[in-house]
Homo-oligomer: A and B are copies of this chain.
Amino acid sequence: MHRWSQLFIPTLREAPADAEVASHKLLLRAGYVRQLGAGIYSYLLLGNRSINKIVAIVREEMDAIGQEFLLPALNPREIWEASGRWSVMGENMFRLKDRKGADLCLGMTHEEVMTDIARKELRSYKQLPQIWYQIQTKFRDEPRPKAGLLRVRQFIMKDSYSFDIDAAGLDVSYDKHDRAYRNIFSRCGLDFVAVEADSGAMGGSASQEFMVYTDAGEDLIASCPNCHYAANLEKATSALAVVTELADGVVEEVSTPTQRTIDEVGAFLNVASVYQMKTMAMVVTTPDGKSKTIVAFLRGDHMLNEAKLATAVGGGELRPMVAEEILAAFGAPAGFLGPIGVKADFVILDAALEGRKNLITGANKEGFHLRNVTPGKDFKPTLIADVRNINEGEPCPKCGTSLKLGKAVEIGHIFKLGYRYSESMGASVLDSNGKEVMPIMGCYGIGIERILTAAIEQSAANRGIDARGEISYAMPPSIAPFEVVVTVTNVADETLRAAGETVAQALDKAGFDTILDDRDERAGVKFKDADLAGIPFRINIGKKLAEGKVEFVNRLTNESVDVAVEEVTQALTRVCESASK
């Protein structure tokens, strides 16, 4: 049992002006954390208690499927050179030199170190499968640290890596993680959604993110209220309504003297944007450092999703071309660029234009567009791919219901890596025929602080502002710094104090993580501090003690009931049991 009077729980009346999201404000005000520098936080007593509880849940679920390691944060340059990522990671990776001038970096992730162990230690298919995990501090030099613990430069991650003999084995390891992650997030009290995610250009074949809806999040996800289809915007698709095409005709130039944009051309020719083809000219710097040109065609009313486009072209950094580059590369002025006769490294047709006909698009000639252009007939794209953003309200690809778009924060990610690291770093084992084969890998991550912040954001969003005008929240009991606070409303009253002591001892003995607020403060101050700390259950020892009763406040349900003093432990046990059902 803990006594508030003995603990260091520094609260703030107000959050700093730069704290915008609820979790940032609350973590600072309640004394969970203090900022040391941009994106660098110290976790004080309350913050550390919640973190330790999250870590314990993660460890328990991960121990059921894998083996815990602990890898160093300091990584020699050599292993990142071996994987080819020393140069790819750019400024996000903290780099340093040791006293002898050798290059080191601080690990952002540990595919390299894990694969290094695998390539040195694994020799035979008999040693597979392996799932190795760790709970360890990662460092990333975020360009814009913000939102408290949501985007920081140092954070704790559970990362795991699976090594299997074949794709079927990887499926099993991946599914084990999927189940473990669902257990972890449920036990941490989160309402999460698992979404299809972009596998990126890493050669992965499947990828799923675990998200918590919150306006504090920076990811957009599309979800179906009917069939539970959900996907990151970088992956989401929709079932578009069939468009009634314009009447057939031959390809012909049409004068559009100053009309360059979809809207300008549409107004001038009196034709809806759905009948136009939008041309996007981009440059991609590929992972091996080459520059390639891309011309992508989308329906006039659609927007490009750069992550989808990057995946379609095999990865790399994208940027739009400027007008001078477009003219130099394609001999066409910006605003009049079109598909017929255009030569680029990638000519990409968005999947939504597949099968369409009689479209209006640029003529590659100043002051002209073309009518009646039909993809496939009048020009051949090098690739047809889904490279657009879907919009809210478009039909679900599975059931046709209108999709919702919402902001969310990512709390976990599971990913079928494939052979990316086994190949680049030279990991192999002998299979049952004595043949050398590469193990197939998966990687899986959970952001420990993200669980804490998502829990706060979720609760704050549900509860809104309380009667005091304060942001209100309550931590899920499993990860709250304390599960229950016993508040002695007046410590000068010896009877109340003694009863508080008895009740708190009983709760502690029953296994509840209990704090006794024994401070010589007004009851209002104590209630406010307890609420600020997010403690989900409060037992108030006050005047009703004369009738043998105390007040039991359940902040998860906002219910408050009087309970006989000797029945407090049973009452709390009952509430916790029903909550966990």
Do B68 and A52 touch across chains, with their CB atoms under 8 A apart?
yes
CA distance in complex: A120, B10 (Å): 10
Q: From A35-43, A491-499, A558-566, give the one contacting chain B.
A: A35-43
A146 contacts chain B at the CB level, 8 A cutoff = no
Name the CB-closest residue of B to A129.
Answer: B6
A76 at the interface (CB under 8 A from B): yes
Q: Is the interface of A mostly helix, strand, loop or mixed?
A: mixed
Bound complex: CA A130 to CA B68 (Å): 34
Cα distance, A580 to B130, chains bound together (Å): 37
Among A95-103, A188-196, A283-291, A453-461, the stretch that binds chain B is A95-103
Min Cβ gap A35→B in Å is: 10
A33-57 at interface with B (beta carbon < 8 Å): 34, 36-37, 40-45, 47-49, 51-52
* Cβ of A361 to closest chain B Cβ, rounded Å: 41
- Smallest CB gap from A118: residue in B: B8
Q: How far is the CB of A157 from chain B (nearest CB, A)?
A: 14
- Is residue A154 within 8 Å, beta carbon to beta carbon, of the partner chain? yes
CB neighbours of A45 from chain B (8 A): 67-69
Our pick among B74, B91, B127 for the contact of A153 (Cβ within 8 Å) is: B74
Using known A-B contacts A10-B121, A153-B74, determine if residue A141 contacts B48 with beta carbons closer than 8 Å.
no
Given contacts A116-B36, A130-B8, contact A143 B99 (CB under 8 A): yes
Please measure, in the bound complex, the distance between the C-alpha atom of A74 and the C-alpha atom of B106, giving whole angstroms. Answer: 10
Is there an interface contact between B70 and A117, defined as CB atoms closer than 8 Å? no
A71 at the interface (CB under 8 A from B): yes
Q: How far is the CA of A396 from the CA of B91 in the complex (A)?
A: 60
- Complex formed: what's the CA distance from A48 to B63 in Å? 12
27 A-B pairs with C-beta separation under 8 A: A7-B67, A8-B121, A8-B127, A8-B130, A10-B121, A36-B75, A36-B79, A36-B116, A37-B72, A37-B76, A37-B104, A40-B74, A42-B69, A42-B117, A43-B69, A43-B71, A44-B69, A48-B70, A51-B70, A52-B68, A73-B137, A73-B154, A74-B94, A94-B98, A95-B96, A96-B106, A137-B137
Chain A residues close to B by CB (< 8 Å) = 7-8, 10, 34, 36-37, 40-45, 47-49, 51-52, 67-76, 79, 91, 94-96, 98-99, 104, 106, 113, 116-117, 120-121, 127, 130, 132, 134, 137, 139, 141, 143, 153-154
